[in-house]
């Protein structure tokens, strides 16, 4: 079974394009593996405890639970509206999850990895994290939130992270964490010297969270709580893949494997960290008023178009920039002129010759090209290289367009020759639409049904014949 997860999102705020990006990537992989006939479990949800939530609720004169209920349902309905094919939406306020967290926390202590001490340090509420002094900006500000951190001294329970240094280095060098460039950042963090990690907060300061099972004066650290959603939410463990943003890779590639090891659980098979989007060249922020909401973009450009853009504009793993010009460019150049044009050209030829049921002699040259294409596409998808997979699709579309030009079926007199060309073209188009289906499920399912397919197919030249129903404009030019 392919078990894929997204981070669980904080519910002190409403969903923006960054949340959609990680969720979309998981959705595309879930759809891809389902199309291959694999069983898939896709886990997403909301991270509802902690100081950030407690404070946000206070500011709004709500109880933390009221705020969590309200915002968690906003996330869930958004994913439903956007057709995200998750299997389970988990909330960290669910009873089963809370029980599991208490159980593992106790086990971790019994295994000798939790001890009591006192902590002093700079805390960023936005990150829900004590920041290493070396990372602070002027005025002791957090480098991510640009707001001053708070200096705190308090009793706490520590997790013996220092016991896991070599284990973590081995894990990071195993190739399980991608992309490689980001792994080096984490390795150098280890090199600077690991410190034990504070994993509880005094109840007097943070009351909104899971109580430490053996000391009611303390609350379990929200990241310890949240990370274990992957174990409580999946039907079996380990996960095949955690998708996360680069900002939270340290939690997933360092603390998480150590927590798991401390309670004798297996490690996730893969972790992939993607980059961040800017908006028209600027960091997205509330104060700049440029926070992009997924629904607004979808209303302007269409759901499949935005899904395509986000995974095509930059290689997954790198940072990118969203602008209306960039979206327009991709839609016109690749969706309208590339895929859409190829599709209507091929259907147009079939319709012109009155051929709706097409079988023909297989062109070996075409079949080889198609085999090569499908092979590279799969290898890119399995490497979580969406950009590369889409590049393969675009090159294959270009090949098919050239194939039409050189074969010039309109100039052929022989019925059989025309059928042979059309057979190859329809085979090619069905592969293109199938490979694009995980990315643009709505339009591609329509396109597939126009050529008589109810589901994606990935085997070139395997069908005896193809059928054509009617013409369809997939991506009108903007
Ligand atoms: N609650 C934690 C995750 C716990 S997982 C056990 C959290 N939540 S979050 O609401 O802040 O969402 C984080 C996700 O959104 C991350 O994957 C992050 O990278 C992503 N993004 C937030 N802003 C982003 C951009 N501007 N661009 C792309 N993704 C970004 O962290």
Per-residue pLDDT, 129: 86
Q: Which residues pair with 242 in a beta bridge?
A: 5, 271
- Residue 424 Cβ inside 6 Å of ligand 1? The answer reads no
- Give 19 Cα–ligand 1 centroid separation in angstroms: 6
Show the tokens assigned to 430. 């069905």
The pLDDT of residue 160 is above 90: yes
Looking at residue 285, its pLDDT comes to 86
CA-CA distances (angstroms) from residue 391 to 292, 301, 402? Answer: 26, 21, 17
DSSP helix/strand/coil, 120 = strand
pLDDT per residue as tens digits for the range 169-225: 999 999 999 999 999 999 999 999 999 999 999 999 999 999 999 999 999 999 999
Q: How confident is the model at residue 470 (pLDDT cuts 50, 70, 90)?
A: confident
| Residue among 44, 144, 245 whose CB has most ligand 1 atoms within 8 A, to mutate | 245
pTM for this predicted structure: 0.95
**Residue in 108, 127, 149, 433 annotated catalytic:** 127
Q: What's the pLDDT score for residue 312?
A: 98
Q: What is the pLDDT of residue 158?
A: 97
Check residue 91 and report its DSSP letter.
Answer: E
Q: What is the pLDDT of residue 115?
A: 98
What pLDDT, on the 0 to 100 scale, is given for residue 71? 96
Catalytic-residue membership of 252: no
Return the structure tokens found at 362: 């297989």
Catalytic annotation present for 49: no
Cα–ligand 1 centroid distance for 248 (angstroms): 7
d(CA 57, CA 297): 28
Contact criterion met (CB below 8 Å) for 430 and 340: no
CA-based nearest residue to 253, from 184, 339, 200, 340: 184
Q: With bands split at pLDDT 50, 70 and 90, how would you rate the model's confidence at 279?
A: very high
User: Going by CA atoms, what residue is nearest to atom 5 of ligand 1?
Assistant: 7
Query: Which DSSP string corresponds to 368-417?
Result: HHHHHHHHHHHHHHHTT-HHHHHHHHHHHHHHHHHHHHHH-GGG---HHH
Determine the pLDDT at residue 13.
Answer: 82
16 is a catalytic site residue: yes
Q: Report which DSSP code applies to 355.
A: -
Confidence of residue 409 (pLDDT cuts 50, 70, 90): very high
Q: Answer whether 198's CB lies under 8 Å from 115's CB.
A: no
Handedness of CA 243, 246, 250, 253 (dihedral sign): positive
Q: Residue 132: phi, psi to the nearest 5?
A: -65, 140
Atom of ligand 1 nearest to the CA of 256: 6
CA distance 262 to 106: 11
Q: pLDDT per residue over 100-142, tens digit each?
A: 999 999 999 999 999 999 989 999 988 888 898 889 999 999 9
pLDDT tier at 360, thresholds 50, 70, 90: confident
Per-residue pLDDT at 210: 98
Q: Give the whole-number percent of the chain exceeding pLDDT 70.
A: 100
pLDDT band, very low/low/confident/very high, at 276 (cuts 50, 70, 90): very high
**For position 37, what pLDDT does the model report?**
97
Q: What is the pLDDT of residue 148?
A: 95
Residue 296 has pLDDT above 90, yes or no: yes
pLDDT > 90 in the chain, percent: 92
Give the pLDDT of residue 286: 84
| Model confidence pLDDT, tens digit, residues 422-458 | 999 999 999 999 999 999 999 999 999 999 999 999 9
Mean pLDDT for the stretch of residues 251-275: 98
Report the nearest atom of ligand 1 relative to the CA of 274: 19
Q: Which of 10, 248, 277 to mutate to test the pocket of ligand 1 (most atoms within 8 A of CB)?
A: 248
Over residues 270-285, mean pLDDT: 94
């Amino acid at each position: 079974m392919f078990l894929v997860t997204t981070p669980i999102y904080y519910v002190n705020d409403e969903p923006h394009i960054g949340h959609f990006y990680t969720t979309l990537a998981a959705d595309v992989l879930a759809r891809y593996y389902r199309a291959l006939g694999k069983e898939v479990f896709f886990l997403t949800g909301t991270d509802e405890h902690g100081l950030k939530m407690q404070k946000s609720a206070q500011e709004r004169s709500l109880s933390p639970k009221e705020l969590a209920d309200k915002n968690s349902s906003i996330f869930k309905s958004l994913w439903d509206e956007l057709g995200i094919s998750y299997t389970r939406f988990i909330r960290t306020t669910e009873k089963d999850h809370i029980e599991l967290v208490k159980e593992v926390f106790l086990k971790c202590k019994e295994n000798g990895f939790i001890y009591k001490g006192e902590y002093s340090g700079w805390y960023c509420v936005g990150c829900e994290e004590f920041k290493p002094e070396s990372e602070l900006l002027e005025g002791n500000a957090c480098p991510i939130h640009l707001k001053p951190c708070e200096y705190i001294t308090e009793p706490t329970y520590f997790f013996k992270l220092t016991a896991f240094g070599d284990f973590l280095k081995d894990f990071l060098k195993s190739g399980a964490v991608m992309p490689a460039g980001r792994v080096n950042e984490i390795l150098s963090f280890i090199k600077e010297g690991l410190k034990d990690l504070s994993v509880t907060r005094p109840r007097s300061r943070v009351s909104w969270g899971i109580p430490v099972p053996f000391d009611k004066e303390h609350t379990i650290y929200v990241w310890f709580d949240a990370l274990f959603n992957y174990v409580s939410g999946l039907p079996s463990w380990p996960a095949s893949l955690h998708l996360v943003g680069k900002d939270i890779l340290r939690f997933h590639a360092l603390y998480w494997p150590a927590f798991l090891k401390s309670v004798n659980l297996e490690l996730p098979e893969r972790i992939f960290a993607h980059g961040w989007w800017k908006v028209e060249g600027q960091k997205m922020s509330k104060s700049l008023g440029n926070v992009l909401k997924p629904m607004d973009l979808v209303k302007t450009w269409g759901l499949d178009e935005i899904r395509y853009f986000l995974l095509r504009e930059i290689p997954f793993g790198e940072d990118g920039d969203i602008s209306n010009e960039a979206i327009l460019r991709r839609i016109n150049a690749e969706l309208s002129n590339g895929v859409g044009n190829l599709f209507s050209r091929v259907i147009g030829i079939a319709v012109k010759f009155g051929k709706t049921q097409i079988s023909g002699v297989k062109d070996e040259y075409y079949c080889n090209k198609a085999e090569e294409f499908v092979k590279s596409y799969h290898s890119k998808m399995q490497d979580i290289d969406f950009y590369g997979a889409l590049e393969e699709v675009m090159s294959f579309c270009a090949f098919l367009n050239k194939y039409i030009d050189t074969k010039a079926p309109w100039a052929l007199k022989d019925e059989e020759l025309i059928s042979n060309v059309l057979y190859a073209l329809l085979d090619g188009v069905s592969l293109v639409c199938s490979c694009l289906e995980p990315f643009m499920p709505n339009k591609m399912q329509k396109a597939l049904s126009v050529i008589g397919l109810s589901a994606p197919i990935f085997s070139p030249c395997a069908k005896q014949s193809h059928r054509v129903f009617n013409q369809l404009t997939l991506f009108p030019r903007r």
